[in-house]
Structure 1
Amino acid sequence: MTLAASAFLYRRPRLRLGLLLSAPLLWLGLAYLGALAALFVTAFWSTDGFTGQVVREWSLGNFHTLFTDAVYRAVTLRTMGIAALVTVVDAVIAFPMAYAMARVVPPRARPWLVIAVLTPLWASYLVKAYAWRAMLSGEGVLHWLLAPLGLDTPGYGLPAVVITLAYLWLPYMILPVYAGLDRLPSSLLDAAADLGARPARAFRSVILPLTLPAVVAGSIFTFSLSLGDYITVQIVGGTSQMLGNVVFSNIGAANNLPFAATVALVPVVIMLAYLAAARRVGALEQL
């Protein structure tokens, strides 16, 4: 029986592949796509203002509130701005680091540098966030370093959120850029040098265009992770709010699950549009 089944599956590679992928696809459908479907449906419900119970009747009231209330528009724009700024900061920091790892240091040292980049990811998210809270405080390490120069720490608020998130997600930008630079043929750089291109011109005309998909691939991580974050804002953001904080407050104190689902759909829609744009530049092939 076993030999017959093996022979049957051997002659049908598509069926064999389908059986192999059935379990993970089933899990993906139930745990991820099913959760998104439930989120989408819940966004069209409402909450009874007197009893606090969810009213399972279709309505666009939550979307009307989200799009017409100036507070929620400001929170949405602030969240997108923070996510974009974190992505830019990480790209500026990650590119020279990744270039040094891929092109400057000896090949034997590269695995150790990759491990060094991954090491911060082994520490707890909360530990790193609270460490930055301590450093950004008026009595933290940054205050001791900047005080002799007549400067002070940015304190708590949006700058602290950008700094903390940029630190947290930096490895997710370094690794894709490093992989893209490592695949870059050295012959192209040699050809650019032979044609008289200075380093700055070679960077603009050869290196940056060919590694742009890798940078965009890294930005998918940094942008999406920043877009959905809310713990960092609570720790170092002061009175600032992002979309994640609005979702959290409506799940907890306000007990308005339908509106929380509506707000939670905003990052999903933004990321779908971002992924569609990233796909056009070939970033998804770099993941």
Structure 2
Amino acid sequence: MSPRVRLAALLAAPVVWLVVAYLGALATLFVSAFWTVNGFTGATVKRFSLGNFETILREDVYRTVTLRSVGVAAAVTVLCAVLALPMAYFMAKVASARARPWLVIAVLTPLWASYLVKAYAWRVLLANGGPLDTLLGGPGRGPGYGLPAVVLVLAYLWLPYMILPVYAGLERLPDSVLEASADLGARGWRTFRAITVPLIVPSIVAGAVFTFSLSLGDYITVQIVGGKTQLIGNLVYANVGAANNLPFAAALATIPVLIMVIYLVAVRRSGALEEL
């Protein structure tokens, strides 16, 4: 059997799964976004129509929710980057070689716990009169439920996805570069700001791909700690469930997909995608 035949046999099952299960489902999503729902019978009308997209563009509420969702995703990404940089730097450049694998395991450990368990644990922490309020000095001192709580919980959930790419980028950064900066008289903070951060920007952007995309489409955390806050994911969930309007839900779901396509095209030339 030739190498090409063996390679084709090896890749056949994964490729079929990707095309049928993933790309097929995505194609169905885009097609159904152009369908409509009969207002009298509630049945889906499989006829091409731009009505769903016209509604999204015409109604202010959908533009507001879209901008709010992008803002939350951007805030989560920035917060994760600020927290990940010092942690990844310590792991890659300060900790001993023996300690590094254990630190990586410590970063990965939260990912082993259930998403819902972590989200509901934060709900208890953020509750009025809960542990966070007590720590900050009394009822009402904590962020409570709402947009700040959503950003905080999402940053906690997705932080490992930012730490690991940044850690990988820092680990590949030669120590000689940092030593040369010190020899030229730069202090630690100046070296970190002027040398380290610019060289690992692709790694930061690679982590941002995960944190931004995962936050943009999330709806469970918003349901648990968001109070009355609405994001794109909540509108999609509401139209799939109570409203039973699958075509309109599909049209709403194309918004984060298009945003992520634009984002990925914008960062492709930075080399960040090679860090994934």
Residue number among 25, 32, 36 corresponding to 2:22 in the alignment: 32
Structure 1 counterpart of 2:33: 43
Residue number among 112, 115, 127 corresponding to 1:122 in the alignment: 112
Name the % identity.
66
* Residue identity in the other structure for 1:210: L
1:49-198 aligned at under 5 Å gives the runs 49-147=39-137, 152-198=141-187
CA shift, 1:215, in A, is 0.6
**Separation of aligned partners in 1, 2:207 and 2:81:** 8
**Separation of aligned partners in 2, 1:144 and 1:86:** 25
Structure 1 counterpart of 2:275: 286
Which whole-Å deviations, capped at 9, do the CAs of 1:71-100 have from their partners, x for residues lacking one? 010000000000000000000001100000
Aligned residues of 2:129 and 2:140 also touching (Cα < 8 A): no
* Residue identity in the other structure for 1:199: G
Which whole-Å deviations, capped at 9, do the CAs of 1:104-139 have from their partners, x for residues lacking one? 111101111111111111111111111111111112
Residue number among 197, 200, 225 corresponding to 1:236 in the alignment: 225
| Higher-Rg member (1/2) | 1
**Separation of aligned partners in 1, 2:53 and 2:120:** 35
RMSD: 1.3
**Separation of aligned partners in 1, 2:99 and 2:90:** 11
* Residue identity in the other structure for 2:231: M
Q: Which runs of 4+ in 1 moved over 3 A?
A: 13-16
* Residue identity in the other structure for 1:76: T
**Separation of aligned partners in 2, 1:263 and 1:108:** 48
CA shift, 1:15, in A, is 4.1
* Residue identity in the other structure for 1:203: F
Structure 2 counterpart of 1:246: 235
5+ residue gaps, structure 2: none
Q: Which one is further off, 113-122 or 191-200?
A: 191-200
**Separation of aligned partners in 1, 2:6 and 2:195:** 43
Structure 2 counterpart of 1:212: 201
CA shift, 1:21, in A, is 1.5
**Separation of aligned partners in 1, 2:194 and 2:242:** 54
1:15-30 aligned at under 5 Å gives the runs 15-30=5-20
CA shift, 1:195, in A, is 2.0
CA shift, 1:278, in A, is 2.2
* Residue identity in the other structure for 2:63: R
Q: Which one is further off, 183-192 or 150-159?
A: 150-159
* Residue identity in the other structure for 2:19: G
Structure 2 counterpart of 1:3: none
5+ residue gaps, structure 1: 1-5
Aligned residues of 2:73 and 2:216 also touching (Cα < 8 A): yes
Which whole-Å deviations, capped at 9, do the CAs of 1:153-202 have from their partners, x for residues lacking one? 11100001001100011111111111111110001111112222232332
CA shift, 1:61, in A, is 0.5
